[in-house]
Amino acid sequence: MTQSESPFLAAIRESNRQGRDAWSRFAGHRERVTRILAGLDRDRSSLCILGAGNLNDVSLGRLLALYGEVHIVDVDLDAVRSGLARQGLAGSKAVHVHGPLDLTGILGRLPPKAGDGREEQGAANALLAVLASHRCAVPNRPCGVTVSAGALTQLIQSVVASALGPLEAVRVILGLRDKHLADLVHLTRPGGVAVLITDVVSTTTAPQLLAAAPTGLGEQMAELVAARNFFTGTNPYRIAALLEQDDRFRDLVRDVRLLGPWLWRVTADRQHLACAIVPSRAAAQPS
């Protein structure tokens, strides 16, 4: 960690360093994500990848054959550079890297944990006010397709690691989830498609997933969510309902599909159940 680097940024960079060798481990997950993005048959002029990091979850060469240009956004550009180099795309004219960009908008405001573990009380309201109004600005936006590439749980992790007490942390996590959905939708052109790839639950708390047939994973996900066994802020049914029904999204989103779930081998000894939530942006109204 450099002197000026926040503990949250240091943790993100360390996590990316540990995931740098995950290319082979991510093969199944990468195939699922790449196929979803390659199968969207709408506006393919540009693709924006939020939380691209090590780029272990997309075969960029395949996507560049379909999309005119790719915009990559992350707070850790070292990870992005090494990911691009691995895929032989360092210096590609069709790939535009933006950042370092904090997708939470609050990384610099989160209270870091003190040595004595004391919780910070009363910080949530100010953080929620920022989350409600802050929009991530990406040059060349909006894109035809915008994907959040497994970033949501990492954004949430910074809140979990902060000094906020558990009740305030949950409020901020839900505010951050809604802000990320709003960014995803607003960074997508009318008539385009947004894709939220997120992990939902770990085999650490749901070991039964390891014995499930791939065709049974949808049922397992429904049961686990009903039993409240999922990462806070990632309930895929709640996210789909928000996008379809909430005032902030209803007029911007046309229909929402839920794809998957599948198992993502996150570490050597842990898999996460992951899925894609795919809202289409409503076409622009003729004026």
Per CB under 6 A, the list member of 36, 51, 156, 188 interacting with ligand SAM is 51
Quick one: which segment of 117-125, 149-157, 229-237, 253-261 binds ligand SAM (CB under 6 A)? Answer: 149-157
Residue with tokens 């791939």: 214
Min separation Cβ 158 and ligand SAM, Å: 6
Nearer to ligand SAM, 112 or 216 (CB): 112
Residue 131 lies near ligand SAM (rule: CB under 6 A): no
Residue 20, CA distances (Å) to 6, 23, 25, 66, 72 in order:
21, 7, 11, 26, 17
Quick one: which segment of 11-19, 114-122, 237-245, 249-257 binds ligand SAM (CB under 6 A)? Answer: 11-19
Angle, CA of 226, 232 and 237, to the nearest 5°: 45
Task: Assign residue 55 a region (left: φ > 0; alpha: ψ between -120 and 50; beta: otherwise).
Answer: left
| Count of positions (residues) in the chain | 287
Residue 134, CA distances (Å) to 23, 106, 124, 176 in order:
33, 9, 15, 10
What would the two tokens of residue 135 be?
């929009």
Min separation Cβ 56 and ligand SAM, Å: 4
Quick one: which segment of 114-122, 146-154, 244-252, 253-261 binds ligand SAM (CB under 6 A)? Answer: 146-154
Min separation Cβ 268 and ligand SAM, Å: 15
**Bridge partners for 263 per DSSP:** 273
Nearer to ligand SAM, 83 or 192 (CB): 83
Within 8 A by CB and 6+ apart from 170, the residues are: 232
Touching ligand SAM, residues 154-183 (CB under 6 A): 154-155
Q: How many residues belong to the site for ligand SAM (CB under 6 A)?
A: 24
**Bridge partners for 98 per DSSP:** 73
Phi, psi of 70 (to 5 degrees): -125, 130
Residue 37 lies near ligand SAM (rule: CB under 6 A): no
Cα separation of 74 and 91, whole Å? 17
Residue 104 lies near ligand SAM (rule: CB under 6 A): yes
Nearer to ligand SAM, 90 or 283 (CB): 90
**What are the residues binding ligand SAM (CB under 6 A)?**
12, 16, 19, 51-57, 74-76, 79, 101-104, 107, 149-151, 154-155
